[in-house]
Structure 1
Amino acid sequence: MLIGDVSRHSGVSTRMLRHYDALGLVRPTGRTAGGYREYSPEDIRRIFHVESLRSLGLSLKQIGRALDDPSFTPAALVSDLIRWAEDRLARERELLERLRAIDASAPEGWQGVLRIVELMQGLNSASASRRQQAVLSRPEGVPMSVDVLAGAVLTEPDPHVAGALRWALARAGGDGVAALAAGVRSADVDVRRRAVRAIAEMPEAPDATAALADVLGDPDATVRGHAALALGGRGVTSAVPVLVGMVVEGTGDVEAAEVLGALSRDPGCADRIVTALADELAAHTEDSAVRIRLTQALVELPGTTAADLLRELTHDDDRAVALIASAFVGVLDRRSTEDRDG
């Protein structure tokens, strides 16, 4: 079969077939009287073998060795090909994410594109100080990519850089909450913590409250706590059970008690909070540390109901609880006297 016929049947260009011949990879068995290449059925089979191995990513040199060296085994080479393919896919995914980030930022002109690329390069630095500088060195009035910042927030391990990223994201405009949505649903608890903390620092974002409310039932106490403190600070009473739970567990209990105190300024919520704290006191009769934290939380609450409960606790069987309650009652009495005299 002549080279033109081989090309038509195999799909390999005549130029490539000549290249294979020059390399000694596939040399036609014969020549016609006129000197044209003539391929035998075995030559054609070898062409198909070459093309099959090329489809796996082998170089022509590797293909020649694979076909001509009887001792050559594919195992090691296939493992290398898998690793190279994975590396190539990772680079392609990284490029795709860069392009998507640039597209989402809708930059004005090439200067805008270059600024986004510079930000991404800075955030990919191995140096925490350089990553932080990339965030903080933005010229005044130059917009930053919300998607790039959100992606960095979800992966940043350094607390100082993470703080700078949250600050920048909260001020970047755009829908930062939507950009963090994948992080809120992540199976990785560290990613969820970063996402919720960032959303908590975006009080002006329209969807922030709904996003935080959705994670009040998260299995991780830290995620629940960030959400509850932020929601309670915004007057959202659905955070009360989590805030009370924080007092019981001793995780952020001081901050939780302060937020409960602020929520108690609403008369409709005050009784609910006092009742929840009283129920926990009744449920933890043998745990002095929990009862002390609950007693301390009561002093943050305005109104007579909380004060009355504190007075009851001055007679508590746990001497430590009784002493702390007595001290707080004294503080409340002095405040009442000063308010009356003032």
Structure 2
Amino acid sequence: MLIGEVARRSGVSTRMLRHYDALGLVRPTGRTTGGYREYSAADVRRIFHVESLRSLGLSLKQIGRALEEPDFTPAALVGDLIRWTEDRLAREEELLARLRTIDASAPTGWQGVLRTVELMRDLGSAGAARRQQAVLRQEQEGAPVPAELLASAVLAESDPHVAGALRWALARSGGDAVAALDAATHAEDAGVRRRAVLAIAAMPGAPGAIAVLAAALADPDATVRGHAALALGRQGVAAAVPVLVGMVVEGRHDVEAAEALRALAEDPGCADRVTSALTDQLAAPTADSATRIRLIQALVELAGATAREALRRLAHDDDSTVALVASALAQVVEDQATEET
């Protein structure tokens, strides 16, 4: 079968068939007396094999390897195809995300598009200083930055200084920053959840922030719960009390937790709840001296007769160290109350 007829039957152009011949992929087994290529039935079958592999996305070099190497198994070929396809899809997903980010910035001209592209490139830099400078430059220029772009950068940022600048810029972006971060509060990676909650905590007045932070109080990660509780406590949300008291018990940011409890106790409707939660933990049989002293120090932060009475009782505690600390702090509280009256 001559090359023209093979081209008609296979749908492969004569030019491509000559290219296959030159590469050694499909060489016709015969030649006519006039020197024309003559293909056998086996040659035609090999052409169809090549075309089938091309349709799967293999390069001609890979096809040659698959056809010639006896130890090149179909399983290995399919495995390679899966990896190549996954890599290609990942690149296309990244491109799609970039295009959506640019579209979200509602650019009115090429200058706006180029500015967003430049910011995306700088935020993806390996250098922390360059990433931070990119954020500060945008703030100085007053150019609008898509909240989605800043949120993605916040969630990926490990440098604390850059992360702080990004959270500040995100809070000032004017976009729906909480919505951009909400999904990340349910991420499998605890580090991503921590960064998301910390960013939302930096903008407590944003729509939906309190609801998202309240949900984070039940997070399995103690750091996530702590970020949420501290932010909610400063906002007067009583649901944060159990987590804040737990932080005092565990000694995790106990000073900040005590300050948040004090803010909550300024509300008369919440003061007794805070005091009761602390005194309940003081009475817990598992509480050691160090834990109880932290709880006493948290009680000192509270105003009110209930807290003072609790301190007076603890001044006679069986644990001499606890009693000594409680006695000294009870006197301080009494003196302050006398001065205020």
Q: What is the TM-score normalised by the length of structure 1?
A: 0.89
Unaligned runs of at least 5 residues, structure 1: none
Measured after TM superposition, the shift of residue 81 of structure 1 is: 5.8
The secondary structure found in structure 1 opposite 2:198 is helix
d(CA) in 1 for partners of 2:74, 2:2: 36
Counterpart for residue 94 of structure 1: 94
State the Cα deviation string for residues 43-90 of structure 1 (Å, max 9, x = none): 2101111112323443324434543x4656358984766655444343
- Determine what percentage of the aligned residue pairs are the same residue: 71
Listed one character per residue, the Cα deviations across residues 177-196 of structure 1 (whole Å, up to 9, x for unaligned) are 11112220011111111110
Matching residue's letter, 1:129: A
Secondary structure of the residue that 2:114 maps to in structure 1?
helix
Q: CA deviation at 1:259?
A: 1.1
CA distance in 1 between counterparts of 2:112 and 2:34 reads: 63
Deviates more, 1:13-22 or 1:182-191: 13-22
Letter in 2 for 1:127: G
Given that residues 122 and 130 in structure 2 are in contact (C-alpha distance below 8 angstroms), is that contact kept between their aligned partners in structure 1? yes
CA distance in 1, matches of 2:100, 2:285: 53
Q: Which residue of 2 aligns with 1:55?
A: 55
Whether contact under 8 Å (1:65, 1:72) holds in the other structure is no
2:41 aligned residue = 41
Deviation, structure 1 residue 113: 1.2
Q: Would the aligned equivalents of 1:21 and 1:28 in 2 still touch at CA under 8 Å?
A: yes
C-alpha change, 1:34 and 1:112, in structure 2 (3 Å) is same
Report the residue type matching 1:20 in the other structure: Y
Which residue of structure 1 lines up, in the alignment, with residue 265 of structure 2? 264
Secondary structure at the counterpart of residue 307 of structure 1: helix
Question: Secondary structure of 2:205's match?
Answer: coil
Partner SS, residue 137 of structure 1: helix
Task: Kindly indicate whether residue 126 of structure 2 is the aligned counterpart of residue 126 of structure 1.
Answer: yes
C-alpha distance in structure 1 between counterparts of 2:75 and 2:269, whole Å = 72
Structure 2 match to 1:308: 309
Residue 69 of structure 2 is aligned to residue 73 of structure 1? no
Change (3 A) 1:285 1:316: farther
Q: Whole-Å Cα distance in 1 between the matches of residues 175 and 22 of structure 2?
A: 59
- Cα distance, 1:12 vs. partner? 2.8
Map 1:172-251 onto structure 2 (within 5 A). 172-251=173-252
How many angstroms apart in 1 are the aligned matches of 2:325 and 2:198? 33
Q: 1:40 to 1:137 in 2, by over 3 A?
A: same
1:323: which partner in 2? Answer: 324
Give the 3 Å change call, closer, same or farther, for CA 308–62 of structure 1 in structure 2: closer
CA distance in 1, matches of 2:118, 2:313: 63
1:198-257 Cα offsets, whole Å, 9 max, x none, are: 000012310110100111111111110110110111111111111111111111111111
1:285 positional shift: 6.2
Superposed CA deviations along residues 16-37 of structure 1, whole A, max 9, x for unmatched, are 3343345453344567899976
- 2 CA distance for matches of 1:291 and 1:24? 82
Distance 1:186 1:282, change over 3 A: same
- Which residue number in structure 1 is paired with residue 162 of structure 2? 161
| Residue-pair matches, total | 339
Q: Which moved more, 1:296-305 or 1:29-38?
A: 29-38
Query: Relative to 1, partners in 2 of residues 1:5 and 1:251: Cα closer, same or farther, differing over 3 Å?
Result: same
Alignment RMSD, CA only? 2.6
**What SS is found at the alignment partner of 1:323?**
helix
Per-residue deviation, residues 119-148 of structure 1 (Å, max 9, x unmatched): 111111111111111111114220112111
Report the counterpart of residue 10 of structure 1 in structure 2.
10
